[in-house]
Amino acid sequence: MNPLRCLLLCLLASAPAAFAAGSVTVTVTHDLALARPAETIAVKWSELARLLPGAQLQHLAVKDAAGHSLPYQVTNVDPEAKDPKNLGIAYGELLFQHDFAAGEKSATFTIERTEATAPPFPTKVFARFVPERLDDFAWENDRIAHRTYGPALAAPGRGKEVLVTSGLDVWCKRVTYPIVDRWYNKGHDHYHHDEGEGMDMYNVGTSRGCGGTGVWDGGQLYVGRNFTAWKVIANGPIRAIFELTYDTWTAGGAIVSEVKRFTVDAGHNLDQIDSTFTAWVGPKSFTVGIGLNKDSSDRGQNCVATVVKNQAEGWLAQWEAQKTNGSIGEAIIVPDEQPDFTEDSVNQLVLAKVTSGQPLRYYVGAGWTKSGDFASPEDWNAYVAACAARAKSPVKVTLTP
């Protein structure tokens, strides 16, 4: 054999990374018969980089089985990590979404290298600290928006509203585009009125709002104060991830603190929350209550609330019909156990056991009739039941070269 030809063949055989295939096949399966719209599919970047060496986040295309390009996102788990060999060591996951039809239990996608630079994709999720409005933290997707409150709102002596609460607020949307910045720019009085995009029609007060937590001792809920620190980990276009830290508070004979990690996905009314309590004094295992305000309506709206509790499936749903503002549904799902239910004077509560230092995963959110997504409490309850089933049966992702 020609020596040069032999050398070339040896180089090809010994350098698979340099001549690796230009695409990876992603197979996604699940066991449910129901539809899974806006299912977020997460591919570990470390696994993708192993099969697609040298992959760069801005030189990729994600395609479905019909060859259509899909929006995608790569999360950055360590923005300060050094990566001189371009291995993507700071990256966490590549994310994209698929609408599984009812009965569709498998779907196949490809991730390909591209010469062209991938364009930015429309942002459907958003989260940020809002210091211009007394340390709010606000977040949204294309379905619903929320906010909660920082230390400035709890500070006395400003001559303005003082609110001490770790409850979570809801902003109802008619539109799918981002509204958080637009509404803050309009000013406080404006977003309490529906001017075509939706409104803040939800009152938190001293309640848990839509998904705040506390320590339950069997007869009383001990709650923390406003968040004291925040951290944005990912911010779209498909998923936003952020953390809120709540300093220590006294819960009966115990002293606890809490860190909430929110995962907000496009196309969903419920957010995933991983809440980690730390017990500094007292027992290391205890009960946490996750709450919904029994009456969040504006003054004069004559709220009529109905509640459905499903212990076997791990969820509680509430529907609040208001006089002119439309109706709002709220829900809590605790997928990994069969929770108990109780209530106090202002909250419906879902009770779950926690251990200090170990996260409790639950889902919380809301939906509004004037968004066009839900017309009745039956619609909302069916949606919540489907979300609970999805949470208990996540998709399985397999990569092949």
Neighbours of 145 (CB within 10 A): 24
Residue 86 confidence (pLDDT) = 65
167-202 pLDDT tens trace: 999 999 999 999 999 999 977 678 888 999 999 999
**Is 222 a residue whose pLDDT tops 70?**
yes
What are the chain's domains? 3-121 (2.60.40.1180), 126-392 (2.70.98)
Residue 159 confidence (pLDDT) = 58
Give pairs for 296-303: CB < 8 Å, separation 24+: 296/170, 296/202, 296/203, 296/204, 296/207, 296/209, 296/210, 296/320, 296/328, 296/330, 297/201, 297/203, 297/322, 297/325, 298/192, 298/201, 298/203, 298/322, 298/325, 301/201, 301/325
What is the spatial distance between Cα 319 and Cα 326, in angstroms, rounded to a whole number? 11
Confidence of residue 54 (pLDDT cuts 50, 70, 90): confident
Q: What average pLDDT does this structure show over 161-169? A: 93
Number of H helices and number of E strands within the chain? 5, 26
Residue 356 confidence (pLDDT) = 98
Any idea how long the chain is?
Answer: 401
Residue 89 confidence (pLDDT) = 75
Confidence of residue 15 (pLDDT cuts 50, 70, 90): very low
Question: What sign results for the dihedral spanned by CA atoms 376, 379, 381, 383?
Answer: negative
Question: What sign results for the dihedral spanned by CA atoms 336, 221, 243, 168?
Answer: positive
Question: What sign results for the dihedral spanned by CA atoms 52, 57, 60, 64?
Answer: positive
**Is 130 a residue whose pLDDT tops 90?**
yes
**Is 335 in contact with 312 (CB distance < 8 Å)?**
no
Residue 18 confidence (pLDDT) = 35
Residue 76 confidence (pLDDT) = 87
**Is 10 a residue whose pLDDT tops 60?**
no
Residue 4 confidence (pLDDT) = 41
* Mean pLDDT over the full length of the chain: 92
Residue 350 confidence (pLDDT) = 98
* SS3 readout for 337-368: CCCEEEECCCEEEEEEEEECCCCEEEEEEEEE
What is the spatial distance between Cα 372 and Cα 396, in angstroms, rounded to a whole number? 31
Q: What average pLDDT does this structure show over 115-126? A: 95
Whole-structure pTM value: 0.92
**Is 342 a residue whose pLDDT tops 70?**
yes
Q: What average pLDDT does this structure show over 133-154? A: 96
Question: Strand pairing of 198-199 and 229-235?
Answer: unpaired
Residue 3 confidence (pLDDT) = 46
Percent over 70 (pLDDT), the chain: 91
Residue 190 confidence (pLDDT) = 81
Nearest to 179 by CA among 143, 133, 232: 143
What is the spatial distance between Cα 178 and Cα 167, in angstroms, rounded to a whole number? 22
Confidence of residue 83 (pLDDT cuts 50, 70, 90): confident
Q: Is 22 helix (H, G, I), strand (E, B) or coil?
A: coil
Range from 77-86, 94-103, 292-301 that averages highest in pLDDT: 94-103
**Is 20 a residue whose pLDDT tops 60?**
no
